[in-house]
Structure 1
Amino acid sequence: MRHDPEWLRRLLNLYPPYLGAGVRVRYIAPDFRRVTVEMPLRWYNRNYVGTHFGGSLYSMVDLFYMLMLIHILGPEYVVWDQAAEIVFRRPGRGPVRAVFTLTDAQIEAIRRETASGRPYRPRFTVQITDPAGNVVAEVVKVLYVRRREVTDQSCGTY
Structure 2
Amino acid sequence: MEQLKQSFDLSGHELPAALTKLIINLWPPFRGAGIRVTHLSADWRQAEVQLKLGLTNRNYVGVHFGGSLYAMTDPFFMLLLMQQLGPDYYVWDKAGHIDYVKPGRGTVKARFHVDEDLVSHIRQQTASGEKYLPQLQVEVHDQHGDVVARVHKTLYIKRKKDR
Q: Mark the runs of 5 or more structure 1 residues left unpaired by the alignment.
A: 152-158
Seq. identity, %: 44
Mapped partners of 1:34, 1:63: distance in 2: 13
Q: Which runs of 4+ in 1 moved over 4 A?
A: none
Structure 2 partner of 1:38: 50
Alignment match, 1:62: 74
Query: What CA distance in whole angstroms lies between the structure 2 residues aligned with 1:105 and 1:93?
Result: 35
CA contact (8 A) 2:63 2:103 kept: yes
Please name the residue that 2:90 is paired with. Answer: 78
Secondary structure, in 3 states, of the residue corresponding to 1:68?
A: helix
Instruction: Give the counterpart letter for 2:48 in structure 1.
Output: T
Q: How far 1:103 moved relative to its partner?
A: 1.2
Matching residue of 1:146: 158
CA RMSD of aligned residues (A): 0.8
Deviation of 1:105 (Å): 1.0
Given that 1:110 and 1:120 are in contact with CA atoms closer than 8 Å, whether structure 2 keeps it comes out as yes
Task: Please name the residue that 2:124 is paired with.
Answer: 112
Residue 93 of structure 1 deviates from its aligned partner by 1.1
Q: Is 1:93 the counterpart of 2:105 in the alignment?
A: yes
Deviation readout 1:39-75 (Å, 9 max, x if unpaired): 1000111000000000000000000000111111000
TM-score after normalising by structure 2: 0.91
Contact 2:53–2:105 (CA under 8 A) maintained in structure 1 = yes
- Give TM-score scaled by structure 1 length: 0.94
What amino acid maps onto 2:34 in structure 1?
G
Task: Give how far 1:99 is off.
Answer: 0.3
Contact 1:3/1:71, CA 8 A, preserved across alignment? no
- Cα pair 2:14 2:83 within 8 Å, conserved: no
Instruction: Give the Cα separation in 2 of the matches to 1:109 and 1:85.
Output: 23
Q: 1:16 aligns with which of 14, 25, 28?
A: 28
